[in-house]
């Protein structure tokens, strides 16, 4: 086992920084970002805002912190926020918007992670002393638990139009928004122009070691900066982080198409082995695989795959998730498929 090649498909967060990123971090010009004096952070935030077509941006420590400062900046304690029923913000962010923001989730079932404008409007409560007021609609693009599935700009606009009709803000959890833009061959600003705020991660497919960006108008970012400080996110000489983020945005977006091709290759191979995978629904860099179809459960399957040198992660008792990323090549995908075939024969 010591000499076995390990193929880590648990997440695209396991990527390591490139040599160019490490050199940029080593040579970054630094200052105190809490005073607004770190030139590398300022450059990254200006780059991010321009890239997303917004007025301003804010560097945060993580996607979870980025989403939290975004919702706290646009909703009052006791407000209700609308989320897709399996949203990352609801499942995987420790209930932060409720515990720290005092916000109440209103869940709406989507189709492959996408809510319809009709379902969003139906979830809005009428004005009544018994109900919390709704102030924010949150969408996720790409959608994690749906398997990296995408919203189109048309779908975003439709929900945004409903939100505007009812004087609500729209926040996008765009952790992997560049995966959506690359997969649809559209400028990322086509996805961002109909939302009030969004966050995106540097530390997933873009391969930077740390950090996420929040973008929106200047007043929103000023408020978000205050909440970031409240949450302990004032990082001082954060240019070390920002330097890698600049490389990530400038150099690492186009290669995401390779991850998408590898995910499709993996899904097709697993489907051919009898696993519960619909390769036609694999849109970006994630594969949700039903292992109960071959007579096992997630815990056992993950353990057996690990014995063959492949790391994967659970979704639930009968499904696992695999995520392609930089460092995973076609040969690694074939190794994973071969491992899955061995596990089938053992089941």
pLDDT, mean of residues 329-334: 98
**Percent residues over pLDDT 70 in the chain:** 99
Per-domain residue ranges for the chain?
Answer: 19-251, 255-346
Q: What is the pLDDT of residues 172-212, one digit of tens each?
A: 999 999 999 999 999 999 999 999 999 999 999 999 999 99
DSSP assignment string, 282-319? --SSEEEEE-GGGT--HHHHHHHHHHTTEE-EEEETTE
pLDDT, mean of residues 259-282: 97
For all residues of the chain together, what is the average pLDDT? 97
pLDDT value, residue 1: 45
Kindly list the strands in the beta sheet with 197-201, ordered across the sheet, starting from the edge strand earlier in the chain: 56-60, 212-216, 197-201, 169-173, 134-140, 80-84, 104-108
Q: What is the pLDDT of residues 83-92, one digit of tens each?
A: 999 999 999 9
Q: Please name the fold of domain 255-346.
A: 3.90.1150
pLDDT, mean of residues 143-162: 98
Confidence of residue 3 (pLDDT cuts 50, 70, 90): confident
Q: What is the pLDDT of residues 121-142, one digit of tens each?
A: 999 999 999 999 999 999 999 9
CB 101 within 8 A of CB 223: no
pLDDT value, residue 347: 67
Q: Please name the fold of domain 19-251.
A: 3.40.640
Q: Examine the pLDDT at 47 and tell me if it is beyond 60.
A: yes
Same fold, 19-251 and 255-346: no
Confidence of residue 4 (pLDDT cuts 50, 70, 90): confident
Q: What is the pLDDT of residues 172-182, one digit of tens each?
A: 999 999 999 99
pLDDT, mean of residues 144-155: 98
Q: What is the pLDDT of residues 96-109, one digit of tens each?
A: 999 999 999 999 99
């Amino acid at each position: 086992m010591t000499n076995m090649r390990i193929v880590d498909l648990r997440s695209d967060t396991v990527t390591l920084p490139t040599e160019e990123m490490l050199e940029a971090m080593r040579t970054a010009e630094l200052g105190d970002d809490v005073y607004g004096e770190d030139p590398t952070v300022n450059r990254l935030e200006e780059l991010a805002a321009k890239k997303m077509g917004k007025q301003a941006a804010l560097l945060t420590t993580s996607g979870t912190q980025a989403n939290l400062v975004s919702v706290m900046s646009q909703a009052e304690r006791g407000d209700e926020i609308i989320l897709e029923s399996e949203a990352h913000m609801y499942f995987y962010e420790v209930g932060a918007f409720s515990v720290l923001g005092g916000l109440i989730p209103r869940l709406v079932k989507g189709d492959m992670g996408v809510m319809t404008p009709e379902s969003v409007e139906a979830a809005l409560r009428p004005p009544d002393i018994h109900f919390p007021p709704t102030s924010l609609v949150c969408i996720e693009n790409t959608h994690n638990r749906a398997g990296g599935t995408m919203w189109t700009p048309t779908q975003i606009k439709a929900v945004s139009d409903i939100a505007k009709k009812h004087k609500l803000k729209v926040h996008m959890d765009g952790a992997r928004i560049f995966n959506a833009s690359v997969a649809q061959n559209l400028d990322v600003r086509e996805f961002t122009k109909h939302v009030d705020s969004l966050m995106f991660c540097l530390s997933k497919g873009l391969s930077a070691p740390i950090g996420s960006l929040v973008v929106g108008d200047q007043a929103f970012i000023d408020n978000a900066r205050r909440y970031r400080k409240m949450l302990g996110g004032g990082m001082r000489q954060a240019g070390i982080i920002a330097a890698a983020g600049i490389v990530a945005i400038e150099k690492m977006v186009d290669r995401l198409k390779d991850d998408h091709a590898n995910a499709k290759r993996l899904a097709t191979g697993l489907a051919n082995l009898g696993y519960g995978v619909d390769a036609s629904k694999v849109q970006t860099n994630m594969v949700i695989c039903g292992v109960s179809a071959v007579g096992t459960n997630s815990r056992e399957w993950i353990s057996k795959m690990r014995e063959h040198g492949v790391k994967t992660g659970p979704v639930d008792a009968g499904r696992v998730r695999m995520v392609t990323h930089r460092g995973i090549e076609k040969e690694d995908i074939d190794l994973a498929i071969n491992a899955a075939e061995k596990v089938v024969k053992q089941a």
